[in-house]
Amino acid sequence: MTSGNRNNKTKFIFITGGVISGIGKGIVASSLGRLLISCGYSIRQVKIDPYLNEDAGTMNPFQHGEVFVTDDGAETDLDLGHYERFTSVSLTKKSNFTSGSVFRAVLDKERNGSFLGKTIQFVPHITDEIQRRILEAAEKDRPDFLLVEIGGTMGADIEIQPFAEAMRQMALKFKSENRFLNIHVVKIDYVFPSDEAKTKPIQHSVRAMLSLGLQPDVLVVRAKRPIEEENLQKISLFCSIPRNRVVEALDAVNIYEIPLALEEKGLLKAVLGAVGMKTNKKCRLDAWAKQYKKTLSKKRVVIGMVGKYHNHPDAYISVNEALHHAAAANNVSVKIVPIDSERTDLAARLKKVDAIVVPGGYGYRGVPGIIKAIRFSRENKIPFLGLCYGLQIAIVEWCQNMLGWKDAASSEFGLKTDHPVIDILDSQKDLQKMGGTQRLGAYPAELLKGSLVWRIYKPWHKGRGSIEERHRHRFEVNPKYHRDIFAKGMVFSGLSPNRELVEFIELPQKSHPFFVATQAHPEFKSRFMEPHPLFAAFVAASKTRQGKMGK
């Protein structure tokens, strides 16, 4: 990628949020990243989470949504998934940090005597550590832009204050060099029952920023309908932000429309102008626009997602998005039907879908229903894709119903069994801590030549048969049972290089059109502009079945 920053000094763009939480800072940051890339600029991204957890790894999906995993094994906030899907730039451990990790680092230095007996304070010690991490994220690649998103709501969340102070200090250092910019994401309010638009919450949010010593340079204003010019002028006047840097951000049909909409409303021009860069550079969004149009196809496949975390809309977000990417690659759209594995009407719901996917998870709750769903897909030749937990339960189902071991189970479930066909890794058995101790990050797999998986991944392995996917789990297919499982007809189409761990399974296509599962999480590597081949093949199989059924 070419660099538009001739002196190679990174410009820092901080994305903050006001008025309410969950306002869409991550999508704004992701969209801006795509816009900058489309103009030939290089970028990196960082997400700062003010909570005290050291990372997102131990957080419940019901509370915080999905945990996203990078190649180097970082368990991160789900916004990093958006960053990668929009920009196709793979991120690292340096791309996400929390208050907890910052405090631990400073206290560890204090215990080791690094501060030479000084009194440890938020300023300068905590704020210096925050700035060090931000600068470190830009050091290796020296991108034109480092986009830094600060989680939470500015002026409302106590835990944000150290980060706001670090941000203020960076503004003091870099703003005079046109190397610092703050984009503040807010929303216009609507009064019930008149539905009249009100700008006052936005004004209060910007004043809260001013009280922290920060003046936003660009406002992105979320709205459910076009904002009247009078209100945009009012926002500009009372927030002391030029009108051309107040950018309207309307609700979109889907998230992949947003970069196009924000470009049309002038976000890129506002950002480049605010850091003293030319704004007449030609940006290339044609390919993105073409891919987006594919997501609107009236031809649609219906995929049932059988899981147990459906109460949180973001619990399976990477799987959802990977399916949308794959649908676009097949010139169809996709309807994802959440199917709670604990429901009593499971069979009736499964009959209405074109394919079934079982995503990741933990524990025994809901497992009997997942076993029934996998058996239903296997016996009725409905395309099936199992992801991590989905592979493990597919093995359990196979052993129970094909090998006749009715007590077959995973040792994770805590059930009494003579056939623990899924068991914990030996390296995991003596661990006491939960956080950061799973099998995490990218691991290689050697694919069985000629298998369905081998053919699907051929664009990646180019005939060599070796690929890498990201992992997040503790349990594996028990090597003790490999021979019995294989002898009954299950194909181990991908193994670890030492051939001890099962990475992919499949059924021969003569007995099932598409029955594939992986111990990995391939959804983490799917990009909007680069749909993952495994998901693309799965949706293609769904489309084929739909055609044969005459739907």
Q: pLDDT tens digit string along 466-508? A: 999 999 998 999 999 999 999 999 999 999 999 999 999 999 9
CA separation for the pair 328, 334 (Å, rounded): 9
Tell me, letter by letter, the H, E, C secondary structure of 473-519: ECEEECHHHHHHHHHCCCEEEEECCCCCCEEEEECCCCCCCCEEEEC
Handedness of CA 533, 535, 536, 540 (dihedral sign): positive
295-423+475-549 placed in CATH 3.40.640.10: no
Question: Quick one: DSSP state of residue 77?
Answer: -
Residues 6+ apart with CB under 8 A from 374: 356, 358, 384, 386, 390, 393, 394, 397
Report how far apart, in Å, the C-alpha atoms of 525 and of each of 33, 86, 219, 280 are. Answer: 17, 12, 31, 33
Q: What is the pLDDT of residues 272-324, one digit of tens each?
A: 999 999 776 678 899 999 999 999 999 999 999 999 988 888 899 999 999 99
**pLDDT of the residue at 437:** 64
What are the catalytic residues?
388, 521, 523
Computed over every residue of the chain, the mean pLDDT equals: 93
Q: What is the pLDDT of residues 503-515, one digit of tens each?
A: 999 999 999 999 9
Delimit the domains of the chain by residue range.
11-291, 295-423+475-549
Report how far apart, in Å, the C-alpha atoms of 254 and of each of 207, 243, 292 are. Answer: 32, 27, 9
CA separation for the pair 182, 13 (Å, rounded): 6
Percent of the chain beyond pLDDT 90? 86
Angle at 380 between CA 375 and CA 381, to 5 degrees: 100
Q: What is the largest CA-CA distance in the chain?
A: 76
CA separation for the pair 284, 287 (Å, rounded): 7
Which residues of the chain carry a pLDDT beneath 50? Answer: 1-7
Q: 14, 17, 15: which is closest to 201 by C-alpha?
A: 17
Task: Enter the CATH code of domain 11-291.
Answer: 3.40.50.300
List helix spans (H) across 240-388: 258-264, 267-274, 286-294, 317-329, 346-350, 367-379
**pLDDT of the residue at 438:** 81
**pLDDT of the residue at 108:** 96
Residues 6+ apart with CB under 8 A from 324: 254, 256, 295, 333, 334
Contact (CB, 8 A) for 292 and 260: yes
Judged by DSSP in three states, 109 sits in helix
Report how far apart, in Å, the C-alpha atoms of 228 and of each of 198, 233, 314 are. Answer: 11, 9, 32
Asked whether the bond before 522 is cis by omega within 30 degrees of 0, the reply is no
| 534 phi and psi angles, rounded to 5 deg | -65, -45
Contact (CB, 8 A) for 106 and 121: no
**pLDDT of the residue at 359:** 96
Judged by DSSP in three states, 121 sits in coil
| Identical fold, 11-291 and 295-423+475-549 | yes
